[in-house]
Amino acid sequence: MVYLASSDLVPKALAGDTRAIARLLTRAESGSAEARPAFDELFRHTGRAHIVGITGVPGSGKSTLVARLAAAIRAGGRKVAIVAIDPSSPFSGGAILGDRIRMGELGGDPGVFVRSMATRGSMGGLARGALEAVDVFDAAGYDIVLIETVGVGQDEVDIARAAHTTVVVSAPGLGDDIQAIKAGILEIADVHVVSKCDRADADKTIADLKNMLMLGLASARGTWRPQVVPTSAVRDEGVQELLTMIDRHREALAASGEIDARCAAIAERRLLAAGEEILRDRFVRDRHGRLAGLLAQLARRSLSPHSAATLLIAELGENA
């Protein structure tokens, strides 16, 4: 295979070339420094796709729901991309669920692109490079980008600062009512989905969520009031209703002007995350240089970790 510079892949990706898109996604995940100018250029072409985050505890049926939702989006003629964040293998660092068996039914459709990304130790349910992958899809002309997160509990709130619409999936019998309150999940949801609603105990979960919303245990995000949508993959029910609710939420954000605030929050989160990553990389490079003296002072307890970090940042700034 002929290696193409990332800058040469940009015009191909903008034209919808799937091979170019795939190569750029790989470089986003690896954090390739060579690709940095290409991603900067792609960012200039973003801002059209609707980003939907789908989260929930493991076992709630997120992957099945995402596959059905993508099929419904395609039935309406829109292009959809899926960024599926998977747990990492502790041995290879790769995505454990990378085969995406449950999404196999989407294969062969040129209007669907599924990409699994490993967390590789990243916190908050998002993988390194996940939002740059979203940029690639956005710039390439996909109408909706679905981000399916790992489902790790409290850190999952990170998705709310990365998506325009956040969908939280609960399932009967998993104790999701208690889990949601404890983890703060209720506060991040724009749409609640109760999956597996063909089960006998689903009505209780639906009622519990609606009661919590009525009692104000979930604060409204702006003027939009979170909605509850029951779904069943077995009966193929509720998926079109979910898509309609997602579209309604997007329309509500645009009508109220709140979409600007959400985009600003996403931009702020990405700016801070990029800054943290740059500093972290510089810290690692200086592990055996500037860090040595500070570590010696820490060992003697003559300097606190906070003071040492402040000195290190100041020194890095002076030598930038």
Please give the pLDDT value at position 75: 95
Asked if 12 and 98 sit in the same domain, the reply is: no
Asked if 294 and 245 sit in the same domain, the reply is: no
Q: Average the pLDDT over 97-108 and give the result.
A: 57
Residue 261 is assigned to a structural domain of this protein? no
Asked if 76 and 96 sit in the same domain, the reply is: yes
**In the numeric block, which tokens belong to residue 160?**
């709310």
- Percent of the chain at pLDDT > 70 equals 79
Which residue in this structure is represented by tokens 């349910």?
Answer: 125
Asked if 32 and 87 sit in the same domain, the reply is: no
Asked if 206 and 311 sit in the same domain, the reply is: no
> For 165-214, what is each residue's pLDDT tens digit?
999 888 887 655 555 555 566 778 899 999 888 888 888 888 888 887 77
Residue 246 is assigned to a structural domain of this protein? yes
Asked if 171 and 27 sit in the same domain, the reply is: no
β partners of residue 52: 146, 165
Residue 100 is assigned to a structural domain of this protein? yes
Distance CA 247, CA 127 (A): 26
Phi-psi region of 281 (alpha: psi -120 to 50; beta: other; left: phi over 0): alpha
Asked if 208 and 117 sit in the same domain, the reply is: yes
Please give the pLDDT value at position 13: 97
Total domains in the chain come to 3
The closest of 278, 266, 277 to 46, measured between CA atoms, is: 266
Residue 131 is assigned to a structural domain of this protein? yes
Domain carrying residue 5: 1-45
> For 2-18, what is each residue's pLDDT tens digit?
678 899 999 999 999 99
Please give the pLDDT value at position 235: 84
CB 87 within 8 A of CB 123: no
Model confidence band, residue 93 (pLDDT cutoffs 50, 70, 90): very low
Q: How far is CA 11 from CA 16, 272, 319, in A?
A: 9, 28, 36
Residue 36 is assigned to a structural domain of this protein? yes
Phi-psi region of 151 (alpha: psi -120 to 50; beta: other; left: phi over 0): left
Please give the pLDDT value at position 273: 83
The closest of 148, 119, 128 to 58, measured between CA atoms, is: 148
Asked if 53 and 72 sit in the same domain, the reply is: yes
Please give the pLDDT value at position 179: 54
Asked if 57 and 160 sit in the same domain, the reply is: yes
Q: Average per-residue pLDDT in the chain?
A: 82
**Position with higher pLDDT, 247 vs 129:** 247
> For 243-284, what is each residue's pLDDT tens digit?
999 999 999 999 999 999 999 989 998 898 888 888 877 777
Distance CA 182, CA 157 (A): 12
Q: Is the pLDDT of residue 91 over 50?
A: no
Please give the pLDDT value at position 212: 79
Q: Is the pLDDT of residue 311 over 70?
A: yes
Model confidence band, residue 57 (pLDDT cutoffs 50, 70, 90): confident
Residue 251 is assigned to a structural domain of this protein? yes
Please give the pLDDT value at position 230: 94
Please give the pLDDT value at position 98: 44
CB 197 within 8 A of CB 232: yes
Please give the pLDDT value at position 123: 47
**In the numeric block, which tokens belong to residue 260?**
């600007």
Please give the pLDDT value at position 108: 78
Asked if 75 and 137 sit in the same domain, the reply is: yes
Backbone phi, then psi, for 53, in 5-degree steps?
-95, 130
Q: How far is CA 50 from CA 110, 179, 229, in A?
A: 19, 28, 20
Residue 263 is assigned to a structural domain of this protein? no
Domain finish residue from 208, 234, 256: 256
Q: Is the pLDDT of residue 99 over 50?
A: no
Q: Is the pLDDT of residue 126 over 80?
A: no
> For 231-245, what is each residue's pLDDT tens digit?
997 788 999 999 999
Asked if 30 and 61 sit in the same domain, the reply is: no
Distance CA 310, CA 48 (A): 40
Distance CA 281, CA 271 (A): 16
Q: Residue 129 sits in a domain of what CATH number?
A: 3.40.50.300
Residue 197 is assigned to a structural domain of this protein? yes
Q: Is the pLDDT of residue 25 over 60?
A: yes
The closest of 102, 83, 231 to 168, measured between CA atoms, is: 231
β partners of residue 84: 116, 148
Model confidence band, residue 315 (pLDDT cutoffs 50, 70, 90): confident
Please give the pLDDT value at position 90: 39
Taken in order 83, 54, 33, 96, the sign of the CA dihedral is negative
Asked if 108 and 150 sit in the same domain, the reply is: yes
